[in-house]
Chains A and B, each alone.
Chain A
Amino acid sequence: MATSTTELINYFCSLTALNLRLKCASLRSAQQVRIAGFGNSNSNSNDVELRAQIKAGSRSSSGKLSLYEAAHLDFGDILEPLFIMWSKKLSNENLSLYKSQDLSNLLWSYGLFGILHKDVFRKVSERALWKTRIRATINPFAPSSLGAVRERGAKAHEARERRGEAGRTENDRTEQIERKLLLLPGNHEHTLVVQHAEFSE
């Protein structure tokens, strides 16, 4: 694998919360390993577009600040203790019990509020990467899952035959997905619209 886990995690941790949201949502899609993966980027494409508009100067803000204002007006005083509490739980939790959607929802929520809790994100990143590597949450006892894998293998073989390409393996595909993740626009220059808090325990 071209990129080590540590590098990827460091990369994750250096991103802004909004970018984290984008990456993690993409990871979820990648985990499902369909060629149409990154499907969840649909919802994030608006963010990307917004950022492009901001960059071009046609728009002054993505409006995310108003979200934080609303949140803090509504129950800002309990938001921080709540997230600290949840983060502590997640830090000590066995994440293998969490489904991909649970992890994605959690990170989405953290990202939405712009909360970066390094422990949580590191743990979830590790888990998400593990899921990406195995490419599918295959239950070895579920015939339907195995059937789907076989079917995918057969289709890949057919496609290879048609194109006459030499061996495009699942590993290649994973590497491609991970490479694609790393090549997604970083947009560090637009961090002004995102306020992210880093809790210290």
Chain B
Amino acid sequence: MSGAERSKRAKTKLTRSFRSAQLSNTAWALVTLRNKRIMITIADTNSPPPSLSEFEKAEDENIRRAIRVVIEVFKPTDAKPQELSNLVWALASSRFGEESESDFIALHSLMDKVALAAMSQLYKFQPQGESQFNIHYSTPKNANAGAEINNMAWAFARLNHPHPPLFEKIAEHFKKHVNTFSAQDISATVWSFATLKFGDLGMFESAAKMVTEKSVQNFKPQECSNILWSFATMNCLPISLKILDREENEIAAKIKISMDILDKRDNNNNNNNVFVNAYAAIANELIKRPYAFKDQELKDVLWSFSKACFRHPTMFRATGTHLLERTVASFSPQCMSNMVWAFAKVNERSERAL
């Protein structure tokens, strides 16, 4: 046996000796360390990323090689929920597979296997954070409950890897146990569904129910903006507001007949109003603490309102006043364009409302 073969055998033996938990933890740790290095390097998020030093390039290459081995050896069927979610989180965060086609294929092939494994044990998954909505349900306290359902959904969305059967299961699970989800879990999960354009109105309604004026006080701005962005992207609106989104002549013909029926339907179906309540609650939060919202978060909230045809003059006035005090020099092109668009669009809707 040649030296190269012996070395390859030894390497295989070594990697096979790793258990699933060890493999996923290794990937998780490497990617976390790399992300922390990037966060330290890019203190100012608006400046362009600095070029990598030789050492950093070598480090990144080594991480890629390690992840390549993990992908090769990892057996999703033997893994626990926590291990699955840690691994997919690491894979999605590492931008692995963007530079090489073979890596890309290996990654997505593993993601399919992970999805199948996750589906069979989804009931074991636990939400990531402590829920503040824990009124009716008690979250089982599990010291090792790091298996995060939102990480799973987030990773699939981040890698743009739609897996409808898995997402159907996650939606079912979400609807049943939404009370055990934290704000972070809710926002990440709905964001993932909206990013992959996987529509399940019931799931979005469940999420909207959790966004009340009281609960939203504990939401971070990013969670608020992500939730609204998801609702707007998936066109989650009460039916009576959708009528304003139609062609003018269509409205003229139908508005008289429809409004009465829709108003009645809205009164009978509270689900239509949960979105209105969620939008209103987040708008109040934005009015209260606009300084807490970053540029992109502000833009997302305003964009969502305009996209969803919600008029909220008070919020737009408050945000506009805040913007005048804020420096807009840091706004990115997209942020700038979407914000100006949002102010204009909401007034186009105003015209129709009048």
Contacts and interface: CB of A to CB of B under 8 A. Distances in A.
B313, B321, B347 — most chain A CB neighbours (10 Å) = B347
A13 interface: no
Interface in B63-121: none
B341 A74 contact: no
A105 B299 CA distance: 14
A63, A89, A105 — most chain B CB neighbours (10 Å) = A105
Contacts of B337: 98, 101-103, 105-106
A112 interface: yes
Interface stretch (A65-73, A134-142, A159-167, A184-192): A65-73
A36 interface: no
B328 A86 contact: yes
A78 B317 contact: yes
Contacts of B320: 75, 78-79, 82
A178 B222 CA distance: 44
Contacts, number: 85
B56 interface: no
B354 interface: yes
Nearest to B349: A70
B324 A66 contact: no
A86 B347 contact: no
Interface of B: 311, 313, 316-317, 320-321, 323-324, 328-329, 331, 333-334, 336-338, 340-341, 343-348, 350-351, 353-354
Closest 5 CB pairs of A and B: A70-B350, A109-B344, A102-B337, A74-B313, A67-B351
B329 to A, nearest CB: 7
Given A75-B313, A102-B336, A108-B341, A67 B321 contact: no
Nearest to B323: A82
B348 A75 contact: no
Given A67-B348, A74-B316, A74-B317, A86 B336 contact: yes
A106 B350 contact: no
Contacts of B336: 86, 89-90, 102, 106
A56 interface: no
Given A74-B313, A105-B337, A113-B344, A85 B328 contact: yes
A102 B331 contact: no
A81 B348 contact: no
A70 B324 contact: no
A89 B344 contact: no
B333 A67 contact: no
B354 A98 contact: no
Nearest to B312: A74
A102 B343 CA distance: 14
A97 interface: yes
B350 A105 contact: no
Interface in A109-141: 109-110, 112-113
A86 B342 CA distance: 13
Contact of A89 (B317, B328, B348): B328
B324 A112 contact: no
Nearest to A71: B347
A150 to B, nearest CB: 21
Nearest to A86: B340
Contacts of A105: 337-338, 340-341
B340 A66 contact: no
A102 B324 CA distance: 21
Given A75-B317, A75-B320, A102-B333, A109 B328 contact: no
